Amino acid sequence: MYLSLIYVKIVVILYFNLDILLLLSTSSLNWYWLHKIFYFAKKAWFDGIDLSLNEANFDLWNEKYIDELSKEFGINVLSITAPSRWLDDEIVDKILLIWKYLNVQLITFSPPYFSDTNTNWFSKKLPKIKKSSSMSISIKNVEPKFLLLVIPKYRHASLLDIKDITWSSSLDLSCVDWSSWIDIIKSYKILWNSIKNVYLSDKHWVKSNLLPWNSWGWISYLPLESFLMKLKTMWYSGFISLKVNPSELWAWNEELVFQRLEELIAYYKKYYLDYK
């Protein structure tokens, strides 16, 4: 019995440490061509790419071109983040095609925008796909914004609601509204074992998607250091994706981009990877 418990513990430790992968979101460098983003991710030793889809960059929707880049640089797209607006069945089907072609591990959607006329893709299509396939589909939290102070910009967007759709979630730290008394630690406790991806960034009042150490003294505005250590002690097994504004990485200067990415890797190792 004692040996069996030791074996289980060893398997758990190996499993959770091997599966923690640090991804670079393409949105963090969307001022660059996709080829250059793969180059940055490879040179900075990220484990993979989070493909953050948007309407402005057609290369992000070209699965064959992306596959060529993955083979060229030896780095894979492990996660896809769908656009937060204008989704319908046709666009969702295209995203699923990209997932299948690239053999992506996770797709993350946002709740439907208030003006979206077709929301069946969210309430019916995604749960059905989740049940009938091995596809990992998560729903991410969004910032609780309102029109005219009363109309929520996103429907079914509470933490409990997003967890209920596919029982898989992604936690975007920049979207946590800590003024509502739900900080990133409490958000994690609510979503807990449903979380498949954590979008890593800092936030200060109206400024969001900041680098984690951008406050005075190289300590985050949010309790990011405590949050990362909490993830480690709770045996988190999903992805961590760097998702910041391109200006945070000084994206107009290639040398500074690498410097910032290396600093991020060191931060990640200190507060997560090497934390015991």
> Would you say residue 15 lies in a domain?
no
CATH number for the domain including 141?
3.20.20.150
> Would you say residue 10 lies in a domain?
no
Quote the pLDDT of residue 138: 97
Is the CA virtual torsion 188, 189, 191, 194 positive or negative? positive
Would you write out the chain's pLDDT as a tens digit for each of its 276 residues?
434 433 433 344 344 444 479 999 999 999 899 999 999 999 999 999 999 999 889 999 999 999 999 999 999 999 999 999 889 999 999 999 999 999 999 999 999 988 888 888 998 999 999 888 888 999 999 987 766 666 678 888 899 999 999 999 999 999 998 766 788 999 999 999 999 999 999 988 888 999 987 655 667 888 899 999 999 998 899 999 999 999 999 988 999 999 999 999 999 999 999 988
- The CA distance from 232 to 235, in Å, is 5
Quote the pLDDT of residue 222: 85
Quote the pLDDT of residue 150: 65
> Would you say residue 1 lies in a domain?
no
Kind plus residue range of the DSSP H or E element containing 227: helix 224-233
> Would you say residue 260 lies in a domain?
yes
Quote the pLDDT of residue 16: 41
- Total of domains in the chain: 1
Q: What b-and-e string marks burial along 101-119, b requiring 16 or more CB atoms within 10 Å of the CB?
A: ebebbbbbbbbbbbebeeb
Closest CA to 274 of 238, 225, 239, 241: 225
Quote the pLDDT of residue 5: 35
Quote the pLDDT of residue 179: 67
Quote the pLDDT of residue 217: 60
| Distance spanning both ends of the chain, measured CA to CA | 27
> Would you say residue 109 lies in a domain?
yes
Contact 48, 76 (CB under 8 A): yes
**pTM for the complete prediction?**
0.89
> Would you say residue 120 lies in a domain?
yes
Quote the pLDDT of residue 44: 94
Give the max Cα distance, the chain: 62
Quote the pLDDT of residue 12: 41
- The CA distance from 79 to 158, in Å, is 23
> Would you say residue 183 lies in a domain?
yes
Contact 138, 170 (CB under 8 A): yes
**Helices and strands: H and E segment counts in the chain:** 10, 12
> Would you say residue 98 lies in a domain?
yes
Quote the domain boundaries for residue 105: 20-273
